[in-house]
Structure 1
Amino acid sequence: MRPAYLEIHDDIKAAIDQGQWKIGQRLPSERDLATHYQVSRMTLRQAITLLVEEGVLERRVGSGTFIASTRVQEKMRGTTSFTEIIQSQGKVPSSQLISYRRTLPSQQEVDCLGIAKEDNIIRMERVRYADDLPVVYEIASIPEKFIKDLPKEQVTSHFFQSLEEKGYRIGKSSQTISAKLVGDPIAHYLKLPKGQAVLALTQLSYLEDGQAFEYVKSQYAADRFEFYFEN
């Protein structure tokens, strides 16, 4: 059975897409929505937070939560590593590792990666560069079972290649893109003014057999990177 907050997430998103709630309209309070869905406020807040991260909703301090005035969600084809993208454009990729640790997953990581709460993950935080210019800040979560015998240097520098060398076959991915304003410390990492627009990307990547092997939340410097879509 899917977690309740994901069901609520889908229901709210469908209501917006069907025009039941209009762009710019204020949502009912979390208390009222929790009562409507017959869940705790914590569960309701998980759904709202995910919709905010996706750019479907926006929180306004002191005012409440509103249907976002602008949002874009398109399907990008294929699963390609950042390293491959940068190299294909004739640039040199590199990374600055901020943190790398073995830890238990959050509930969101459990749900997205299809793992148990007691399954360890590797969570790494890093800034990625093209020709020494910072392009993206990301937090990647990887089930430990895929990389437990790989040196940290291989995971942080060419993770996809290392998986394929172990015999895994990379499959599809799902992505969600939204716009947001960058705050500290990410603005510092990307060398951007605080409050400048960035592209927030959430990506879940799968092997060909359907296993999710990486969950990544990224923020791209909007003036240094663009996405395009194929129909």
Structure 2
Amino acid sequence: MKLSLDHKNHVPLHVQAEQLLRNLIKDPQFANGKLLPNEVDLAKQLAISRTTLRQALNKLVYDGLLIRKKGIGTRVAGTAVSSKSNNWLSFSQEMQTRGIPIKNYELHVSWVHPEEAIANFFQIAPDKKILKLERLRGRPEAPFVYFVSFFHPRIGLSGEEDFNTPLYEMLEKNHHIVVNLSKEEISAKPASKFIAEKLEIPQGDPVLFRKRFVYDRGERPIEYNLGYYKADSFVYTVESRRDQ
């Protein structure tokens, strides 16, 4: 992608760079989680100093449009809702605290090449195989949620783990991975033929679709999770408390 600024324009270069970045992050490839070009290369391409470029980047970070991590790079913030909690629970733990008995109807483990969005989230090459976990779960009477999880190869999962146990308890006990941060996107969508068959609902019926990005204490990506919930069987509740 060729990027340039008009050095003869009366508009200050940092303002031009800011507008260019605002346009750049609308590109689908960056909205999909791909890192922006690094500062050194981008500054050279635009023929400006890193200080001028950083001034533009800082404005977008301040506006919540970009996320910058030292040693990793800068990416589009997206529209995810973040939650950080000392008592954050897995699905099994959450259902247990509510006194809801849960049955596992299906559990499938496989090794797959990640799609672009997942590879970008994990910051790995798309030819690197990762573990995929699919689970159909619900009450004893009927299933109400279908989960698809992908895990960073850094964890060291073998695929032989007992995924019937609470997931985050297992990760902490067996792999010393402590989850600390969840970023979620929640929307409604019509059930595909595949999801409709799994949840035992008519194709096209609305389902609650939740995309969850899970990080460890160092805010390194751990899990990329998709959840499809039967709309009439599950309520997603968010509690917020205003700091005094």
Superposition TM-score tier, normalisation by shorter sequence: 0.5 to 0.7
Instruction: Tell me how far apart the structure 2 counterparts of residues 223 and 88 of structure 1 sit (CA, whole Å).
Output: 21
Q: Which amino acid aligns with 1:159?
A: L
Matches within 5 A, 1:1-231: 5-8=28-31, 74-76=81-83, 78=85, 79-97=88-106, 99-149=108-158, 151-152=160-161, 154-166=162-174, 167-231=176-240
Instruction: Tell me how far apart the structure 2 counterparts of residues 221 and 77 of structure 1 sit (CA, whole Å).
Output: 26
User: How far is the alpha carbon of 1:5 from its aligned partner?
Assistant: 2.6
Instruction: Tell me how far apart the structure 2 counterparts of residues 100 and 182 of structure 1 sit (CA, whole Å).
Output: 23
User: How far is the alpha carbon of 1:128 from its aligned partner?
Assistant: 1.3
Structure whose CA Rg is larger = 2
Q: 1:184 to 1:150 in 2, by over 3 A?
A: closer
1:32 corresponds to: none
Q: Helix, strand or coil for the counterpart of 2:172?
A: helix
Aligned residues: 169
Q: 1:77 to 1:211 in 2, by over 3 A?
A: closer
Q: Which amino acid aligns with 1:155?
A: F
Q: Deviations over 1:115-149 (max 9, x none)?
A: 23343211122211133431211211112331434
Q: 1:133 to 1:147 in 2, by over 3 A?
A: farther
Instruction: Give the TM-score normalised by structure 1.
Output: 0.64
Note if contact 1:147-1:155 (Cα within 8 Å) is conserved in structure 2.
no
Q: CA RMSD, aligned part only?
A: 2.8
Q: Which amino acid aligns with 1:210?
A: E
Note if contact 2:91-2:166 (Cα within 8 Å) is conserved in structure 1.
no
Q: Helix, strand or coil for the counterpart of 1:155?
A: coil
Note if contact 1:74-1:229 (Cα within 8 Å) is conserved in structure 2.
no
Q: 1:210 to 1:94 in 2, by over 3 A?
A: same
Q: Which has the higher contact order (CA 8 A, sep 6+)?
A: 1
* Aligned-pair identity (%): 21
User: How far is the alpha carbon of 1:210 from its aligned partner?
Assistant: 1.2
Note if contact 1:91-1:131 (Cα within 8 Å) is conserved in structure 2.
no
Structure 1 segments, 4+ long, off by >6 Å, are none
Q: Which amino acid aligns with 2:186?
A: I
Q: Deviations over 1:177-225 (max 9, x none)?
A: 0111112121121111222111110001011111111101111011111
2:43 corresponds to: none
Q: Which amino acid aligns with 2:228?
A: Q
Note if contact 2:32-2:117 (Cα within 8 Å) is conserved in structure 1.
no
Q: Helix, strand or coil for the counterpart of 1:119?
A: coil
Q: Which range moves more in the overlay, 166-175 or 88-97?
A: 88-97
Q: Helix, strand or coil for the counterpart of 2:166?
A: helix
Q: 1:7 to 1:157 in 2, by over 3 A?
A: same
Note if contact 1:97-1:156 (Cα within 8 Å) is conserved in structure 2.
no
Note if contact 1:135-1:221 (Cα within 8 Å) is conserved in structure 2.
yes
Instruction: Tell me how far apart the structure 2 counterparts of residues 88 and 131 of structure 1 sit (CA, whole Å).
Output: 17
Q: Which runs of 5+ in 2 are unaligned?
A: 1-23, 34-77
Q: Deviations over 1:35-56 (max 9, x none)?
A: xxxxxxxxxxxxxxxxxxx9x9
Instruction: Tell me how far apart the structure 2 counterparts of residues 204 and 9 of structure 1 sit (CA, whole Å).
Output: 13
Q: Which amino acid aligns with 1:168?
A: I
Instruction: Give the TM-score normalised by structure 2.
Output: 0.61
